[in-house]
Chains A and B, each alone.
Chain A
Amino acid sequence: MTCIELKGINAAVIRKSNPSFLNGVPELVVLQLLARREMYGYEVVKAIQTTSRDAFSFGEGSIYPVLHQLEAQKLVKSRRAEVDGRARLYYSLTAAGEKRLAALTKQWSGVAAGVANVLGGAHA
């Protein structure tokens, strides 16, 4: 279903076994990037690849379902600009998006800490 994969782990497989575990990752990543500055789709993909150091592997078009979903949920807003005869939509965070980002960040920090504890325990 989702095209975003963690390197070596198929997120679609994880989703089936534990739906709430990694579902918010694409949203969290996109909201975090848009919180820094306004971006269009291609820029978001480049920013994900750069800041994550290519940790994610995904079809680049799959960023748009995420952006459109966030827009439908009023977490981001878009404005249209014409560049070289092509329509371009710039996305930025809304106030609701900032709240959602804070909630997702807190949630993800808890998951990451839990995973770190498990990994730490495995190595101990």
Chain B
Amino acid sequence: MIARLKETASRVGELSGWREISGPLFRKYVALFLAVVSVALLSNGLLEVWFSYQEHKASLIRIQREQAAAAAKEIEQFIEGIKSQVGWTTQLPWSPATMDQRRFDGLRLLRQVPAITELGQLDSSGKEQLRVSRLAMDVIGSQTDFSKEPKFTEAVANKIYYGPIYFRRESEPYMTLALAGTRRDAGVSVAEVNLKLIWDVVTGIKVGQHGQAYAIDAQGRLIAHPDISLVLRNTDMKRLTQVRAALAARAGEPTEQVQVAQDTRGREVLTAYAPVGPLGWIVFVELPADEANAPLWASVQRTSGLLLAGLTLAFLSGVFLARRMVGPIQTLRTGAARIGSGDLTQRISIKTGDELEGLADQFNDMAGKLEESYADLEQKVELRTEELAQSVAELRALGEVSQAVNSTLDLEMVLNTIVAKAVQLSGTDAGAIYVYDDFQHEFRLRSTYGMTEEFVAGIKDHRIGVSDTIAQAAELKAPVQMADLRDEAPNPVHELVLKAGYRALLIVPLIGPEGVVGALVVRRRDPGEFPKQTTDLLQTFATQSVLAIQNARLFREIEAKGRQLEIASQHKSQFLANMSHELRTPLNAILGYTELILDNIYGEMPQKVHAVLERVQSNGKHLLGLINDVLDLSKIEAGQLTLSVSDYSVKDVVHNVFAAVESLATEKRLALKVELPPHLPIARGDERRLTQVLLNLVGNAIKFTDAGEVRIKAVAANGSYTLSVRDTGPGIDPSDQSKIFEEFQQADSSATKKKGGTGLGLAIARRIVEMHGGQMWVESSIGNGATFSFTVPIEVEQRAEH
């Protein structure tokens, strides 16, 4: 069932377009509307119910009280009736003659008052003289003495006696009513009244549908009730609050009025009572609270039914109204969303004739404008994209060109690439590059693109000189364009161009740092201006072309120079070789002859001559040494010096050098020391040259040291050994330390003159060490001497100097 309800509700919702509309705003409106209406309805209903309940209850109680009073009255009257009837029987005097009459009166009383079951008559002395009964036989003159009984005594005293209620057969309520006659000797009539007949009175009271009336005696015992069984059962009613209250009120005690209490069956009842005259009885009229409240419940039901209906109505109208309200808002929302998401053709349609419609119109306006501007933008974007594409193409072309320029020195190729790209990108039909020939002062056609051979030949023939357009452009150092050659002054070149079918011309001069280098020309068949874009592009190409041309030039120059250098070097080597040979030959002769002379081959020489000849010899040797050195150096420089590699002992090298320079050192009174470790390796290299190196260093050390010592130290390390020569000479300034290894240099040129030497030794020595794969360096400072060291690897392979 619940499932079916849900299904239906959802279907209803779908069909009414619920989902589109329902949102927080919608729900809010509906809820608000519903709340307002329901509050109004509810409060109204509740108030009404409350007030009507109160009124209703009050009126019911009033009615009940009236009924009770009426019933009490009736009971009173009933008793009064009995009283008066009984009273009649006391009228006759006591005499035998009247006995029959009495009897007849009694029997008639029984007839007329069904309530009286028995009538007894006592004479003035309290003896029973007559008894008539319904149930038993009549008895006359029994003389039973009742003079002590209250029914006699009290009746005599008070004229009337109401006896307490007793039960016959434990089930029938009876009351003794005794009435005394008016006359002093009248005696007392005693009636046994069956109170079951009062029941008729009480039950005759109609209290609503299920209400009832009952009567209790002064002790709280039930004496009349619609349910006779309760009466017969001798029910004690004092357990009911209302009974207690009524009894208390009767007794004059202050008590609260009880309007709502419980009845014998525990049901809640609306209760009212009225006392019955002198008997001390109380009549209660009770209406079940349910029945009393029934109209109330009915009213509540009505109200809630109404409320429900009202709520449903409110809900539906709320939905309807909210929909009317929210609908346009929703339309606006979705419309705006669609516009926002890019669908600018969307227009929102709201025809409610209020602010919302105005808003929708505004939206539509906005959408329209957006559409326009979008279209505009799109156009612009297209345009820019085109331009961008163009630029990209140009850049690419430039890139290619640059690549070409950088990757090859083939000027032809470069220029071809440039002109081709230039023509392609400028949207022209043909192009050419001219290179300016400085000597001839004319532009030579170097590269073309898109030009027919005939055209090329024609142009080539025609030499473009200074007066030509190209030259003008070069003069201006700016591009020159001709939108239509036909409009220009006639010109043989132009004629050619026109003949070839081109009408528009753009010339871009190629300007290098030293002036015009050439020109780039593009030609178009269609006449018209060349856009700035094209001019700028060609300008760029022009720059590239300049670069290319310059590169090419430089390369050629370098090539040329290189060749010249080659030739020069060759000449030099040739010269040196020749010269050294030429020099050595006579020098050897001189030395030879001098030797001979000193050896006294040619007779004894005087001492002076001997000394002189010795000086000549030494000078000559010196000169030979120099020539050798020069030759060596040139050989080394030419890369023609080779090492003869063999095993050698480092120790031996040191000792040899030591031996060679010992005398020199002694001569200058210098100490010559040697420090050698216990084991020096056997190395592999050019022994002679290395000895030469060490000799050079030690020699220099001795030469440049005037006092002190020269120390030779050798150290062996992993795979190499280090030899150092320390002197206590003047030292070498750090700034000169590099200089001294250069050719033809000594630290101090003045010293050269003093000390002699070609200044070649260190340079050569270093070269030799370097050829072995070693190093040579110096450590020195002014005034602290100098230490020249070199390291040589033990294993040396043939290495040619570069």
A and B bind: no
Spell out A's residues near B (CB within 8 Å): none
B positions within 8 Å CB-CB of A: none
